[in-house]
């Protein structure tokens, strides 16, 4: 046994050494601390990286190694998630607090090391503890490997990151803590932002508007990221169309549109042809609010697309795009459902054999307030959320990954149910049925064998409200085979399965009052959380996790945690 372990460690060392010798190293240092910012007529202190909002952009080529030294100079616990990175053989760097690591405590540091092998496109990074990601986020751009191949479309004249966000006049951590303490829904944001700036439709914000200069007759690539906490967003540019060429760092068949919609966590790469007359044109982002009757921040962020011109006079007022209504589900669904993958040599094809089938029903719930408390949720209860009626609870003394790696008992169980309780999932008359709304807290994971093919039916419910929930799966991309409205019907849905070129994603916006079917290959050992990327819903329990076993080779076995791994 000891000899076998030594051989395994040596093989891992040789594999890592070979890979490191053949890759460039992209190194950053993130100083995370307080930053004074003035927005919407008010000044407040936010948590930010290197004094920037958004934080630094990380740029690499496919195959590079990324090394980020995170120094926590803030008053809060911290972790950073590299959203969409596979983290193969580096699960200790994934970032979600108490899932793959304990938090980086104030005054402490941790170095994240991972590679970009097999990935190209626009991803991003963000804090994955509390609501810190409202201001702790930035772009992560992976270009094709130098001198190997180029984009599968003409190289654009310039690439422009567009990060959509939300702004709160109050401290986001306090907002979340207050909501959890009272059992009520959290306060709404006060504005949306484009590259950290709300735009001139908000008070005191004429100077706080993002502007980008372009040259007429060129092609630009917009790398659009929805970093907002709790809102999906429509994005348009007046008098311009866009050609979508990738989503979630996966190339798509070129898709022409005048509007894109992104759920929190999603990215879109879109080509922009600057073929309009010289002038100023608004870029605008407003919410897609799918839940009827629930309050939301009904405002619009703006930026300006400015054509360079030899004319020295002032431009007239920018043209505003005609935006969809905030509840325009047909437009949102049309965008989400019409994307397909671009099949390139070497592209991963949809596996036709399925080893594990799951039907996961999820939505909002209520739980009793508990003794000595007064709760402000419906019926005097507090809000919760669940998947298959399990409201996911994180541990607090050790991360799930470390417990899995070290065989620590009593932290979680591996019995997450494959099937949900049976009821009429999308029947709005049941939305506030007290007997239907109750749920049970637990830390229950789904165990998967290495390389198993997993198919998951994701079903929204009408409990509390019919809503489009964006679900993010860490550690994997998945194929979106089909999606639709109402309750999932296997006989009908399977006729719609795209098994040839379905879009691939790491975050899917499951249709409001509807369903989606995803399929992925569990080829990444570790513990990987799948959760709603509306941050109000994660601490309520709208999550589960996959426990993927090791394979039989060094390249499919979790290595030990790094020496500076944070302690609880």
The confidence score (pLDDT) of residue 269 equals 98
3-state secondary structure of 405: helix
Q: What is the mean pLDDT of residues 404-428?
A: 96
- Both tokens of residue 405? 């790696």
The answer to whether 138 and 49 are in contact (CB under 8 A) is yes
Question: Which tens digits make up the pLDDT trace of 551-560?
Answer: 999 999 999 9
Q: What is the mean pLDDT of residues 46-70?
A: 97
The answer to whether 211 and 303 are in contact (CB under 8 A) is yes
Q: What is the mean pLDDT of residues 118-131?
A: 96
Q: Is 313 exposed, middle or buried (0-12, 13-18, 19+ CB in 10 A)?
A: exposed
3-state secondary structure of 491: helix
Question: Which tens digits make up the pLDDT trace of 228-275?
Answer: 999 999 999 999 999 999 999 999 999 999 999 999 999 999 999 999
The confidence score (pLDDT) of residue 199 equals 97
The confidence score (pLDDT) of residue 308 equals 84
Half-sphere exposure of 299 (CA within 13 A, CB side): 21
The confidence score (pLDDT) of residue 313 equals 60
The confidence score (pLDDT) of residue 433 equals 87
Q: Is residue 201's pLDDT more than 90? A: yes
With b for 16 or more beta-carbon neighbours within 10 A and e for fewer, the 156-176 pattern comes to beeeebbbbbbbbeebbbebb
Which residues contact residue 492 at a Cβ distance below 8 angstroms, ignoring those fewer than 6 apart? none
Measured CA distances, 166 to 195, 264, 293, 296, 503 (Å) = 10, 10, 21, 12, 27
The confidence score (pLDDT) of residue 9 equals 36
Q: What is the mean pLDDT of residues 373-395?
A: 93
Euclidean distance between the first and final Cα of the chain, in Å? 31
The answer to whether 272 and 212 are in contact (CB under 8 A) is no
Measured CA distances, 305 to 161, 258, 449 (Å) = 13, 15, 50
Radius of gyration for the chain, computed over Cα atoms and rounded to the nearest angstrom:
23
DSSP state of 568: -
| pLDDT-based confidence at residue 311 (cuts at 50, 70, 90) | low
Cα–Cα distance, 276 to 115 (Å, whole number) = 40
């Amino acid at each position: 046994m000891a000899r076998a372990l030594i051989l395994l460690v040596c093989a891992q060392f040789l594999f890592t050494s070979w890979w490191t010798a053949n890759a460039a190293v992209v190194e950053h240092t993130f100083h995370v601390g307080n930053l004074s910012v003035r927005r919407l007529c008010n000044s407040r202190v936010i948590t930010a990286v290197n004094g920037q909002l958004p934080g630094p952009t990380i740029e690499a080529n496919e195959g590079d190694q990324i090394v980020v030294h995170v120094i926590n100079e803030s008053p809060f616990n911290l972790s950073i998630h590299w959203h969409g990175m596979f983290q193969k053989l580096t699960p200790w760097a994934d970032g979600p607090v108490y899932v793959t690591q304990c938090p980086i405590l104030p005054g402490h540091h941790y170095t994240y090391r991972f590679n970009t092998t097999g990935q190209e496109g626009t991803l991003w990074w963000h804090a994955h503890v509390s609501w810190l990601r409202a201001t702790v986020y930035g772009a992560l751009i992976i270009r094709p490997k130098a001198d190997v191949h180029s984009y599968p479309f003409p190289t654009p004249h310039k690439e422009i990151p567009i990060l959509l966000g939300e702004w709160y006049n109050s401290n986001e951590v306090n907002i979340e803590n207050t909501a959890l303490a009272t059992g009520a829904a959290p306060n709404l944001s006060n504005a949306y932002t484009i590259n950290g700036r709300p735009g001139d439709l908000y008070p005191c914000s004429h100077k706080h508007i993002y502007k980008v200069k372009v040259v007429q007759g060129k092609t630009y690539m917009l790398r659009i990221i929805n970093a907002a906490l709790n809102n999906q967003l429509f994005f348009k540019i007046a008098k311009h169309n866009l050609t979508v060429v990738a989503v979630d760092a996966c190339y798509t068949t070129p898709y022409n549109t005048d509007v894109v919609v992104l759920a929190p966590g999603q990215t879109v790469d879109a080509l922009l042809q600057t073929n309009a007359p010289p002038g100023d044109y608004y870029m605008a982002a407003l919410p897609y609010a799918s839940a009827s009757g629930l309050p939301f921040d009904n405002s619009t962020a703006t930026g300006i697309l400015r054509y360079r011109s030899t004319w020295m006079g002032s431009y007239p007022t920018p043209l505003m795009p005609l935006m969809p209504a905030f509840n325009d589900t047909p437009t949102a669904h049309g965008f989400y459902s019409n994307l397909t993958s671009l099949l390139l040599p070497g592209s991963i094809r949809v596996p036709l054999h399925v080893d594990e089938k799951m039907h996961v029903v999820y939505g909002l719930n209520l739980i009793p307030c508990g003794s000595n408390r007064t709760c402000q949720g419906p019926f005097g209860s507090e809000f919760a959320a669940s998947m298959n009626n399990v409201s996911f609870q994180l541990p607090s003394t050790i991360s799930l990954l470390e417990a899995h790696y070290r065989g620590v008992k009593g932290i979680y169980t591996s019995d997450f149910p494959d099937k949900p309780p049976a009821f009429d999932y999308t029947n709005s008359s049941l939305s506030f049925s007290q007997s239907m709304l109750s749920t049970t807290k637990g830390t229950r994971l789904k165990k998967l064998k290495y390389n198993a093919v997993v198919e998951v039916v994701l079903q929204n419910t009408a409990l509390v409200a019919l809503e489009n929930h964006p679900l993010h799966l860490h550690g994997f991309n998945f194929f979106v085979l089909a999606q639709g409205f109402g309750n999932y019907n296997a006989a009908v849905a399977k006729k719609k399965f795209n098994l040839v070129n379905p879009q691939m994603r790491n975050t899917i916006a499951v249709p409001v009052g509807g369903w989606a079917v995803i399929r992925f290959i569990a080829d990444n050992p570790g513990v990987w959380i799948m959760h709603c990327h509306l941050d109000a819903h994660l601490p309520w329990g709208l999550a589960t996790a996959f426990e993927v076993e090791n394979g039989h080779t060094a390249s499919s076995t979790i290595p030990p945690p790094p020496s500076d791994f944070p302690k609880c």
